[in-house]
């Protein structure tokens, strides 16, 4: 083998090795489901093993009053959060709905395409982040509450 061909072969081997190492690193980071730039204390366990309910169907069914009570998994983007402000001691405050996140399939979804999920410690959810949620739909009130979640 001539010298120029040997150099070309070594360059190809080096590039192939570097590309393999890069793609293995990218794949491992994607599988970790962690964002190293953000440290968030979660108060919920990872998403559970429940039957899957498509987000759009869950939204439509809950708006039509036909949401089936039970526990489900779904996934979507957090598009908004609402907090119930604390009531000052001794003051008369009108009760407000519990803290909640709003989840949709798109960041700029219309209000009727969002699902309201009651949750605690809303600071652990980032607007625009995609999550898998384990939810509980109450039989009497049809309110949707968060059981657990994982970053999608």
Residues near 79 by beta carbon (within 8 Å), at least 6 away in sequence? 102, 103, 104, 106, 107, 108, 109, 114, 127, 128
87 and 146 co-located in one domain: yes
Quote the pLDDT of residue 37.
41
Residue 79 has pLDDT above 90, yes or no: yes
CA 12 to chain centre: 41
Give the total number of structural domains in the chain: 2
- On whether residue 121 sits in a domain, the answer given is yes
- On whether residue 66 sits in a domain, the answer given is yes
More confident residue, 6 or 84: 84
Confidence of residue 83 (pLDDT cuts 50, 70, 90): very high
pLDDT tens-digit profile of 9-23? 777 776 666 666 566
Residue 103 has pLDDT above 70, yes or no: yes
The average pLDDT across 65-76 equals 78
Coil, helix or strand at residue 54: coil
Coil, helix or strand at residue 47: coil
Q: Under a CB-based contact definition with an 8 Å cutoff, are residues 93 and 87 in contact? A: yes
Residue 1 has pLDDT above 70, yes or no: no
Domain span at residue 67 reads 51-151
- On whether residue 146 sits in a domain, the answer given is yes
Question: What does pLDDT average to over the chain?
Answer: 76
Q: What's the pTM?
A: 0.63
Residues near 136 by beta carbon (within 8 Å), at least 6 away in sequence? 70, 71, 144, 145, 146, 147
Q: Under a CB-based contact definition with an 8 Å cutoff, are residues 71 and 48 in contact? A: yes
3 and 78 co-located in one domain: no
76 and 135 co-located in one domain: yes
Confidence of residue 72 (pLDDT cuts 50, 70, 90): confident
* Start-to-end C-alpha separation, the chain: 51
- Report which listed range, 38-47, 57-66, 135-144, is most confident: 135-144
Residue 86 tokens read as: 């604390």
């Amino acid at each position: 083998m001539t010298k120029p061909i040997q150099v070309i072969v070594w360059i190809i081997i080096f590039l192939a090795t570097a590309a393999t190492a890069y793609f293995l690193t990218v794949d491992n980071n994607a599988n970790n489901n962690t964002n190293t730039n953000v440290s968030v204390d979660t108060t919920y366990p990872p998403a559970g093993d429940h039957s899957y309910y498509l987000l759009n169907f869950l939204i439509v069914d809950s708006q039509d009053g036909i949401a089936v009570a039970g526990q489900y998994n779904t996934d979507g983007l957090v598009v908004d959060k609402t907090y119930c402000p604390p009531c000052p001691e001794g003051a008369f405050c009108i009760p407000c709905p519990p803290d909640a996140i709003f989840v949709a399939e798109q960041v700029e979804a219309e209000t009727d395409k969002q699902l309201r999920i009651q949750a605690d410690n809303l600071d652990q959810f980032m607007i625009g982040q995609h999550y898998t949620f384990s939810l509980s739909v109450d039989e009497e009130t049809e309110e949707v509450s968060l059981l657990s979640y994982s970053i999608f």
